Structure 1
Amino acid sequence: MISSSDGVLVTVTILTKNPGPIFREVLSAVLSQETTWPYEVLVVDSGSSDGTVDFVRQHSGVRLVKIKSGDFGHGRTRNLAVSMARGQYVAMLTHDAKPANNKWLSNLVKPLEANLSVAGVFGRHIAYPNHTPCTKRDIEQHFNQFLQWPAVMGIEDPERYARDQGYRQVLHFFSDNNACLRKAVWEKIPYPDVDFAEDQLWAKAIIEAGYKRAYADDAVVFHSHDYSVRDTLRRSFDESRALKRLFGYDLCPGFGYGCYQVYAGTCRDLKFLIKSVGLRKAFASMFRTSLLHAAKQAGFYIGRHQGPLEGFFFRLFSLDGAKKRK
């Protein structure tokens, strides 16, 4: 139920920049949500030149905010969006994350309504149907791991939180490609103004402030990328650089470790592909599979071991930096 009044319960915010045709499907899916309460849609565009702004303006019930491309920041722009939201809860989507059904928004909001201590909820991602079997498997396995933990989590064991990095990683994980925040908590703890991992830093902050975060397995969006070898390296570089700098995580502690991960990942994918697409297609794609794993580990290693050349490596390898320069 969409409403143009100030009595909305939820604001759905979508950040856009040259999203291409997929955004038309995303916006249509958002506008088709079935809820028992009113919600609004707010699009924040940072310099699109592909017709996105004109497309949004065709929908009279959708609010549009335009900012300059150079003013975009992952945390900064999301803070702007939340600050302009009229809803008590603020759902967060990126321009390529499409709700999988018309119950997505209701399912995303349920944990916030059920538990006042929950500051934020994130939902499941699934791969787009046209993406590779390995991409589909990796995303499914990633979100399946959250089913092994309680749906609502906070720091129940401070001693374990202090010593166990794996436990901290579970508690800190949050994906604002598909999430919903309690605005009253955001007003106390806004997103940090960082280039990467703003969602996980926010989750760390709210968890350590005594709030909880929730996982909604039934709040599903299509969101996946079949990265090229080059973009796999660049994306891995960004992830490794940020997680080491912000959390102390070391995704590739050494060259030998990286080589083993390339070997193990290639073998794992080959076995999986033989079962899923057959022997001929599996071996035909083995070379590219090996290159993808090598690029991933190289990105992890370079992002971790930058030293005094950090600025040079960022300009050379950062995918996020390249997108900002466009």
Structure 2
Amino acid sequence: MTAFHCAVVIPTKNALPGLRRVLSKVLAQKTPWPYEVIVIDSGSRDGTAEYLRKLDRVRLIEIPPDAFGHGKTRNLGVEMADAKFVAFLTHDAEPVEETWLARLVAAAEQDDQIAGVFGRHIAYATASPFTKDDLDRHFAGFLAHPLVVHRDLDPERYERDVGWRQFLHFYSDNNSLLRKTVWDQIPYPDVEFAEDQLWARTVIEAGYAKAYAPDAAVYHSHDFSPLEQLRRAFDESRNFKKYFGYDLSPGILQALASIVKQSSQALSQTPNPDRYGRTTLQTRSLRVAQGAALIFGHFLGTNHDKIPKNFSDKISLDRKLYKS
């Protein structure tokens, strides 16, 4: 018999001051069953660990920085959890409502075959209007399909349609929950990228289901500069090709065509004034630059083996990840 119905696991590294808001929301969750909160800190130097040690309701596990891994650190959290379900947040993902955790669990309890659940992301109020629009459109897309999905919905399509496979294995540990009995059979892979989606693909192919809980939302968003966008897209594209075999942007002509199309769409939009007081033209221009950086980054990442290694190393946002 488990001591808790659910555990919340949060990996941290130099997470202040945002972690205070996140934990305040997590510790205020209203549930009909007991839950525990586990934070795994990997060598913070900003006072995060000292802050966590003062919280009676938080179970702190400290590991050295070189012991961290997106997959293996989350495996440690699940292993330490004495619970039927384990939810994950990142230290910058803040639950919107006090029913967030109960709704994640309720989504999993619809069927014993549901291995994992992911929730919605909402942009912070300080985010750019384009970031807000991107997130809203992304998560609205899941509402066009059943909230519980599995491979047998359309086995033939799963085999022939890459886009359908991507849809079925989308899963984000910024806001997710798994069933521990499934994890006992299928733990997270020990990789440095996309551990959540690789796990989701494995459980889907093992015959389990995945659920989307749109009402279990968190605030989570980032406004990237064009250069940050390019570097992140490079790492994303390179690693999606490595781990999934996907070519997010296989050819230069396709990339250029996508940039032209995206730029035209951005210039035709009329965003609300952003928090920096930029004019509509300035905001549109930034959107064009960000979109072009995303597409070109995907092109470079997909074709990383065709460009000089020292150049690839400089582009990569996570050089340690790239060199590994």
Q: TM-score range by the shorter chain?
A: over 0.9
Please report how far the alpha carbon of residue 309 of structure 1 lies from its aligned counterpart in structure 2 after TM superposition: 5.9
2:5 equivalent in structure 1: 9
2:43 to 32, 41, 47: 47
* Letter aligned with residue 70 of structure 1: D
Please report how far the alpha carbon of residue 284 of structure 1 lies from its aligned counterpart in structure 2 after TM superposition: 2.0
Closer, same or farther in 2 for the Cα pair 1:131/1:301, shift >3 Å?
A: same
2:246 to 246, 249, 262: 249
The DSSP-based 3-state class of the residue aligned with 2:214 is strand
The answer (yes or no) to whether the contact 1:12–1:42 under 8 Å persists in 2 is yes
- 1:262-302 CA distance string (max 9 Å, x none): 22222222322x25349x82212233222212221221011
The answer (yes or no) to whether the contact 1:70–1:324 under 8 Å persists in 2 is no
Taking the aligned partners of 1:124 and 1:209, their CA distance within structure 2 comes to 25
Taking the aligned partners of 2:238 and 2:308, their CA distance within structure 1 comes to 9
The answer (yes or no) to whether the contact 2:131–2:222 under 8 Å persists in 1 is yes
Matched, 1:88 2:88: no
Matches within 5 A, 1:117-132: 117-132=113-128
* Letter aligned with residue 188 of structure 1: Q
2:301 equivalent in structure 1: 303
Taking the aligned partners of 1:171 and 1:112, their CA distance within structure 2 comes to 16
2:148 equivalent in structure 1: 152
2:168 equivalent in structure 1: 171
Taking the aligned partners of 1:194 and 1:62, their CA distance within structure 2 comes to 27
1:111 equivalent in structure 2: 107
Taking the aligned partners of 1:171 and 1:304, their CA distance within structure 2 comes to 22
1:99 equivalent in structure 2: 95
Please report how far the alpha carbon of residue 222 of structure 1 lies from its aligned counterpart in structure 2 after TM superposition: 0.3
Closer, same or farther in 2 for the Cα pair 1:139/1:256, shift >3 Å?
A: same
Of 151-160 and 216-225, more deviation after overlay is shown by 151-160
The answer (yes or no) to whether the contact 1:44–1:67 under 8 Å persists in 2 is yes
Matches within 5 A, 1:1-326: 7-156=3-152, 157-272=154-269, 274=270, 276-277=272-273, 281-307=279-305, 312=310, 315-321=313-319
* Letter aligned with residue 315 of structure 2: F
The DSSP-based 3-state class of the residue aligned with 1:276 is coil
Closer, same or farther in 2 for the Cα pair 1:287/1:323, shift >3 Å?
A: farther
The answer (yes or no) to whether the contact 1:270–1:282 under 8 Å persists in 2 is no
* Letter aligned with residue 291 of structure 2: H
Taking the aligned partners of 1:155 and 1:323, their CA distance within structure 2 comes to 31
The answer (yes or no) to whether the contact 2:313–2:322 under 8 Å persists in 1 is no
The DSSP-based 3-state class of the residue aligned with 1:14 is strand
The DSSP-based 3-state class of the residue aligned with 2:318 is helix
Of 305-314 and 212-221, more deviation after overlay is shown by 305-314
Please report how far the alpha carbon of residue 247 of structure 1 lies from its aligned counterpart in structure 2 after TM superposition: 1.3
CA RMSD of aligned residues (A): 2.1
| Structure 1: gaps of 5 or more residues | none
Please report how far the alpha carbon of residue 322 of structure 1 lies from its aligned counterpart in structure 2 after TM superposition: 6.3
Closer, same or farther in 2 for the Cα pair 1:313/1:195, shift >3 Å?
A: farther
The answer (yes or no) to whether the contact 1:9–1:89 under 8 Å persists in 2 is yes
Please report how far the alpha carbon of residue 313 of structure 1 lies from its aligned counterpart in structure 2 after TM superposition: 5.0
State the identity as a percent.
48
Taking the aligned partners of 2:97 and 2:271, their CA distance within structure 1 comes to 30
Please report how far the alpha carbon of residue 120 of structure 1 lies from its aligned counterpart in structure 2 after TM superposition: 0.2
